[in-house]
Amino acid sequence: MKDPMNDATLLSPGPCLISLATAVPGHEIDQADVEAFGRRLFAERPKTFERLASAYSNAGIERRYSCVPLEWYGQSHGWKDRTALFVENALSLLQTTTEEALQSANLTPEDIDGIVVVTSTGLAVPSLDALLMERLPFRRNVQRLPIFGLGCGGGVLGLSRTAALAQSQPGSRWLFLVVELCGLTFRGADLSKSNIIATALFGDGAAAGIVQVREDGHRLTSWGEHCWPDTLDVMGWLIEEDGFGVQFSRDIPQLVRTEMRIAADDYLSSAGCGFDSIDRFVLHPGGTKVLQALEDAFDIPHPGLATAKAVLREFGNMSAATVMFVLERELASKPRGRSFLGALGPGFTAGFAVMDHS
């Protein structure tokens, strides 16, 4: 297969990201305050906490944003309370990002033909897209696809699904939405190591992008994924009586270092573009250890994944939404050439995409 960068078909219409907007909720929380809170919360396991306390300083995070104040995390909450807060705050963030993305693209809600919504941190039936239609004047025949359960991989995988839908219906405009309110999943009664680490990493955020088939722009030329066998316990949720229980393995950085490049090379080979044609990497910053593992896996020289590190430092890990924050910053620099998008999620699954800029 020919490299599309050297092929005349590059100028043929394809799914392009024509606008992108991000948003965070209003409660800004410093990492030092989260550590102090965690020390009080896990007072019953002082030795365990002290052994893991370095995660706060080593996380590469200075601040995060939450839809609830820090005091909320010290109280008891069940599914009903968490779900009500999730729906209220998710809709608010999605409305904000949708309006900004539409304005940037010089479009109105009536111009949108389809909506894809990705989340893994809360439940809503009717789904968030249907609820959003009661706030913004979308056409009543708009197509809708809510996606749940992709975890941190949902940014790249959801954008890929949106591109595929746009490509299958030339002339259509698709709104891609992702919202993750990771803080609302925190369970104070869970004194596990994973939950302690989670308090050092996760924040809340949302993004909206518009995808349309056209001849120029930030064009998604290919996408793919890889799900490794016997890795279902690497990352995901445990369904507990009072909410989601966080599950992730300490082996993730090593899996990334040893397995990610092989899967990415297979994908790029099937997509017909060589690894040496990649100009920049837009990768989900799961944490500093994961970022280092990604730099090692892809042989990324200094300064490495600087944009991803900056997003992690300023916002924390917002699950699926995070890579869209990274992409937004990369696009602001008006890039040329080719970007490689990647993220990891439950399954254990890697999502990939190639974006050509013109």
Residue type, 154: G
Q: Cite the DSSP H helix spans in the chain.
A: 31-41, 46-52, 54-58, 79-104, 128-133, 154-168, 193-201, 252-255, 261-271, 288-297, 306-315, 322-332
Tell me how far CA of residue 345 lies from CA of 80, 227, 232, 301, 324, in angstroms: 26, 9, 10, 25, 15
The answer for residues whose C-beta is within 8 angstroms of residue 299's C-beta and 6 or more apart is none
How far apart CA 275 and CA 225 sit, in angstroms, is 16
Tell me how far CA of residue 259 lies from CA of 228, 248, 293, 344, in angstroms: 9, 17, 10, 12
The answer for residues whose C-beta is within 8 angstroms of residue 339's C-beta and 6 or more apart is 278, 279, 280, 281, 282, 327, 330, 354, 355, 356, 357
Two tokens at 354? 């190639």
CA atoms within 13 A on the CB side of 267: 22
Compute φ and ψ for 17, nearest 5 degrees: -80, 110
Cis previous bond, 126, omega within 30? yes
Among residues 67, 152, 182, 273, which one is catalytic? 152
Among residues 235, 234, 246, which one has the least CA distance to residue 187? Answer: 246
Q: Mark whether 227 is an active-site residue.
A: no
Judged by DSSP in three states, 199 sits in helix
Tell me how far CA of residue 288 lies from CA of 160, 203, 258, in angstroms: 26, 15, 17
How many Cβ atoms sit within 10 Å of the Cβ of residue 259? 16
How far apart CA 132 and CA 127 sit, in angstroms, is 9
Q: Which residues are catalytic?
A: 152
